[in-house]
Amino acid sequence: MTAAERSEMNRLIVAWNVAHHAVDEYVQTNFPFNSDQVVVFFELESKVYEAALKLSEFCIVPRL
């Protein structure tokens, strides 16, 4: 794996972690646990992940 490939992989991992943790916290805080919670979680997670990816293009991603 090249340095550029590792950098891109790190960027994707960081964006995924940001999205997953932010949405998990939001959903657990704002929705009682039921089947709707799962649907809301995945809908929000995909949107936050896309936003995190866009933001990560302008940031230096630390090595994992």
> Which residues have C-beta within 8 Å of that of residue 26, sequence separation ≥ 6?
44
Per-residue pLDDT tens digits for 8-29: 888 888 888 877 788 778 777 8
- Say whether pLDDT at 63 is over 70: no
Across the chain, what does the average pLDDT equal? 75
For 8-11, the CB contacts below 8 A with 24+ separation are 10/61, 10/62, 10/63, 10/64, 11/53, 11/56, 11/57, 11/61
* Torsion over CA: 14, 11, 61, 51 (sign): negative
Higher pLDDT, 49 or 3: 3
Say what the pLDDT of residue 64 is: 44
pTM confidence score: 0.56
